[in-house]
């Protein structure tokens, strides 16, 4: 499948940093994309990337001198977390993950992701990437992940902060989450 028009692929020939990262340095936000023939992109995706599978990610991590990764579920894969979990399971313990789930996620799926190294979920408020999720759904997801000790990654663009809908939705979730 062809990449979306305007999509900027990863640099196939990156330069090595002029500095050496300290031991234990972590790439705190990265993605795996596909490969599409094994991990198809979601039909509802808002863009189609080029394949950038775990092997490319791990090679880049090592090339840059980083020790670990936090792999965040890519929105083009939507709620199918298999590519991200596959990367975690083959990382040799050098990666943790942040999933994207809906309220239909099963307890077994949450446990499977937790065993693989998932430590949180992402609530994405960027409309160019995902469709709107009602706040009551987000609150129910927050309640489901609380017993796992997972955190919530809130993804929004700075222009969203002034939106009354964003403020109502986010603040109601923040205060409703069990501690």
The tens digit of pLDDT for each residue in 107-145 reads 999 999 999 999 999 987 766 566 677 788 889 999 999
73-82 pLDDT per residue, tens: 998 999 999 9
Angle between helices 82-89 and 107-116 (to 10 degrees): 40
Q: What are the beta bridge partners of residue 97? A: 71, 118
What was the pLDDT predicted at 154?
85
Mean pLDDT of 140-159: 86
This prediction has a pTM of 0.85
3-36 pLDDT per residue, tens: 777 777 778 888 988 999 999 999 999 999 999 9
């Amino acid at each position: 499948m062809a990449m979306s028009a305007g999509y900027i692929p990863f640099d196939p020939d990156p330069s090595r940093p002029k500095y050496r990262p300290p031991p234990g340095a972590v790439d705190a936000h990265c993605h795996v994309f596909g490969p599409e023939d094994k991990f198809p992109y979601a039909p509802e995706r808002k863009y189609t990337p080029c394949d950038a599978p775990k092997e490319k990610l791990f090679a880049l991590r090592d090339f840059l001198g980083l020790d670990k990764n936090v792999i965040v579920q890519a929105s083009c894969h939507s709620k199918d977390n298999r590519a991200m979990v596959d990367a975690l399971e083959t990382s040799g313990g050098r990666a943790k993950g942040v999933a994207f789930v809906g309220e239909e996620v099963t307890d077994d799926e949450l446990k499977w992701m937790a065993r693989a190294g998932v430590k949180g979920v992402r609530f994405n408020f960027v409309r160019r990437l995902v469709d709107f999720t009602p706040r009551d759904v987000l609150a129910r997801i927050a309640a489901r992940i609380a017993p796992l000790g997972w955190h919530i990654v809130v993804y929004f663009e700075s222009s969203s902060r002034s939106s009354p809908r964003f403020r109502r939705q986010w603040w109601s979730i923040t205060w409703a989450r069990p501690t």
